[in-house]
Copies of this chain bind each other. A is one copy, B any other.
Amino acid sequence: MSFELRIMDDALRPQCLGIFNRIIAEGETYPWDDPLTREDLDALYPPHEPVWCAVDPEGTVLGFVHIHPNGFGRTEHIGNCGYAVDAVARGKGIGRALVTKSLEVAREMGFAGLQFNAVVATNTAAIKLYESFGFSIIGTIPGGFRLGSAENPEYVDRHIMFLALQ
Protein backbone atom coordinates (compact mmCIF):
# COMPACT_ATOMS: atom_id res chain seq x y z
CA MET A 1 0.00 0.00 0.00
CA SER A 2 1.54 3.21 -1.17
CA PHE A 3 1.16 6.34 0.90
CA GLU A 4 2.90 9.56 1.79
CA LEU A 5 3.00 11.41 5.10
CA ARG A 6 1.54 14.92 5.14
CA ILE A 7 0.66 17.44 7.81
CA MET A 8 -3.10 17.55 8.36
CA ASP A 9 -4.65 20.64 6.80
CA ASP A 10 -8.26 21.79 6.83
CA ALA A 11 -8.99 19.80 3.67
CA LEU A 12 -7.95 16.55 5.39
CA ARG A 13 -9.82 17.14 8.66
CA PRO A 14 -13.16 15.66 7.52
CA GLN A 15 -11.43 12.40 6.55
CA CYS A 16 -9.59 12.30 9.88
CA LEU A 17 -12.89 12.85 11.68
CA GLY A 18 -14.35 9.91 9.76
CA ILE A 19 -11.48 7.62 10.79
CA PHE A 20 -11.70 8.84 14.39
CA ASN A 21 -15.41 8.11 14.56
CA ARG A 22 -15.09 4.67 12.97
CA ILE A 23 -12.49 3.82 15.63
CA ILE A 24 -14.76 5.17 18.37
CA ALA A 25 -17.54 2.95 16.98
CA GLU A 26 -15.22 -0.08 17.25
CA GLY A 27 -15.11 0.73 20.98
CA GLU A 28 -11.84 -1.03 21.68
CA THR A 29 -9.11 1.57 21.95
CA TYR A 30 -10.40 5.13 22.44
CA PRO A 31 -12.24 6.29 25.57
CA TRP A 32 -15.05 8.13 23.76
CA ASP A 33 -18.45 6.47 23.77
CA ASP A 34 -20.01 8.84 21.24
CA PRO A 35 -18.87 10.20 17.88
CA LEU A 36 -17.00 13.50 17.78
CA THR A 37 -18.24 16.56 15.96
CA ARG A 38 -15.93 18.60 13.76
CA GLU A 39 -15.85 21.13 16.60
CA ASP A 40 -14.64 18.42 19.01
CA LEU A 41 -11.93 17.43 16.53
CA ASP A 42 -10.77 21.01 16.13
CA ALA A 43 -10.56 21.37 19.92
CA LEU A 44 -8.53 18.15 20.17
CA TYR A 45 -6.18 19.19 17.38
CA PRO A 46 -5.46 22.89 17.73
CA PRO A 47 -3.57 24.39 14.78
CA HIS A 48 -0.22 24.64 16.61
CA GLU A 49 -0.08 20.90 17.41
CA PRO A 50 1.10 18.79 14.48
CA VAL A 51 -1.03 15.97 13.12
CA TRP A 52 0.65 13.86 10.42
CA CYS A 53 -1.50 11.91 8.01
CA ALA A 54 -0.75 8.87 5.87
CA VAL A 55 -2.41 9.64 2.53
CA ASP A 56 -2.68 7.27 -0.44
CA PRO A 57 -2.14 8.38 -4.07
CA GLU A 58 -5.89 9.03 -4.48
CA GLY A 59 -5.83 11.43 -1.54
CA THR A 60 -7.53 9.08 0.91
CA VAL A 61 -6.35 9.41 4.49
CA LEU A 62 -5.43 5.97 5.87
CA GLY A 63 -4.32 7.02 9.34
CA PHE A 64 -2.81 9.83 11.33
CA VAL A 65 -0.92 10.75 14.48
CA HIS A 66 -1.19 13.76 16.79
CA ILE A 67 1.96 14.79 18.66
CA HIS A 68 1.47 17.10 21.67
CA PRO A 69 2.37 17.62 25.34
CA ASN A 70 0.94 14.98 27.65
CA GLY A 71 0.46 17.55 30.37
CA PHE A 72 1.11 21.23 31.00
CA GLY A 73 3.35 23.45 33.08
CA ARG A 74 5.73 21.36 35.16
CA THR A 75 4.88 18.21 33.17
CA GLU A 76 4.74 19.63 29.64
CA HIS A 77 8.22 18.34 28.74
CA ILE A 78 6.71 14.84 28.40
CA GLY A 79 4.85 14.32 25.16
CA ASN A 80 2.00 12.13 24.02
CA CYS A 81 1.01 10.73 20.63
CA GLY A 82 -2.44 9.66 19.55
CA TYR A 83 -2.51 7.24 16.63
CA ALA A 84 -5.36 6.22 14.37
CA VAL A 85 -5.30 3.82 11.44
CA ASP A 86 -8.50 3.12 9.53
CA ALA A 87 -9.60 -0.52 9.78
CA VAL A 88 -9.32 -1.08 6.02
CA ALA A 89 -5.69 0.04 6.07
CA ARG A 90 -4.36 -1.99 9.00
CA GLY A 91 -1.54 -4.51 8.80
CA LYS A 92 0.16 -2.62 5.98
CA GLY A 93 2.90 -0.73 7.76
CA ILE A 94 1.00 2.50 8.23
CA GLY A 95 1.10 2.33 12.03
CA ARG A 96 4.84 1.71 11.88
CA ALA A 97 5.35 4.68 9.54
CA LEU A 98 3.27 6.91 11.82
CA VAL A 99 5.19 5.88 14.94
CA THR A 100 8.50 6.49 13.15
CA LYS A 101 7.34 9.95 12.07
CA SER A 102 5.92 10.81 15.48
CA LEU A 103 9.17 9.95 17.28
CA GLU A 104 11.08 12.15 14.86
CA VAL A 105 8.62 15.01 15.39
CA ALA A 106 8.54 14.52 19.18
CA ARG A 107 12.34 14.80 19.29
CA GLU A 108 12.21 17.94 17.17
CA MET A 109 9.63 19.37 19.55
CA GLY A 110 12.07 18.77 22.39
CA PHE A 111 10.10 16.29 24.47
CA ALA A 112 12.20 14.42 27.03
CA GLY A 113 9.99 11.36 26.75
CA LEU A 114 6.64 10.09 25.51
CA GLN A 115 3.92 8.85 27.82
CA PHE A 116 0.90 6.91 26.55
CA ASN A 117 -1.84 6.94 29.17
CA ALA A 118 -4.31 4.38 27.99
CA VAL A 119 -3.04 1.50 25.90
CA VAL A 120 -5.79 -1.09 26.19
CA ALA A 121 -4.32 -4.48 27.13
CA THR A 122 -6.32 -6.25 24.42
CA ASN A 123 -4.74 -4.03 21.76
CA THR A 124 -1.76 -6.35 21.40
CA ALA A 125 -0.85 -5.15 17.90
CA ALA A 126 -0.31 -1.62 19.20
CA ILE A 127 1.59 -2.81 22.28
CA LYS A 128 3.93 -4.92 20.13
CA LEU A 129 4.42 -2.04 17.72
CA TYR A 130 5.27 0.44 20.49
CA GLU A 131 7.58 -2.08 22.18
CA SER A 132 9.45 -2.56 18.89
CA PHE A 133 10.36 1.16 19.12
CA GLY A 134 11.59 0.79 22.71
CA PHE A 135 8.46 1.75 24.64
CA SER A 136 7.87 -0.15 27.88
CA ILE A 137 4.74 -0.82 29.86
CA ILE A 138 5.59 1.10 33.02
CA GLY A 139 2.29 0.58 34.81
CA THR A 140 -1.13 -0.98 34.51
CA ILE A 141 -4.53 0.18 35.73
CA PRO A 142 -6.35 -3.06 36.54
CA GLY A 143 -9.70 -3.08 34.77
CA GLY A 144 -9.00 0.49 33.69
CA PHE A 145 -10.81 0.32 30.32
CA ARG A 146 -14.39 -0.57 29.58
CA LEU A 147 -15.21 -2.62 26.51
CA GLY A 148 -18.89 -2.89 25.66
CA SER A 149 -21.54 -0.42 26.73
CA ALA A 150 -21.97 1.22 30.13
CA GLU A 151 -25.00 -1.05 30.63
CA ASN A 152 -23.15 -4.21 29.64
CA PRO A 153 -19.50 -3.56 30.43
CA GLU A 154 -16.44 -5.75 30.27
CA TYR A 155 -13.44 -4.27 32.03
CA VAL A 156 -9.92 -4.91 30.76
CA ASP A 157 -6.53 -3.61 31.86
CA ARG A 158 -5.14 -0.34 30.59
CA HIS A 159 -1.40 0.15 30.31
CA ILE A 160 0.73 3.24 30.65
CA MET A 161 3.68 3.09 28.26
CA PHE A 162 6.78 5.28 28.20
CA LEU A 163 9.81 5.95 26.04
CA ALA A 164 12.67 8.22 27.04
CA LEU A 165 13.77 10.41 24.14
CA GLN A 166 16.85 11.94 25.71
Contacts and interface: CB of A to CB of B under 8 A. Distances in A.
Interface of A: 27, 30-34, 71-78, 112-113, 115, 117-118, 138-147, 153, 155, 158, 160, 162, 164
Contact of A75 (B31, B75, B78, B113): B31
- Chain A contact surface mostly: strand
B143 A31 contact: no
B112 A145 contact: no
Contacts of A164: 142
Nearest to A115: B141
A158 B34 CA distance: 32
A74 B141 contact: no
A31 B146 contact: no
Contacts of A113: 141-144
25 contacts: A27-B74, A30-B73, A31-B71, A31-B72, A31-B75, A31-B76, A32-B72, A33-B73, A33-B74, A74-B146, A75-B146, A75-B158, A77-B143, A77-B146, A78-B141, A112-B143, A112-B155, A113-B141, A113-B142, A113-B143, A138-B140, A139-B160, A139-B162, A141-B162, A160-B160
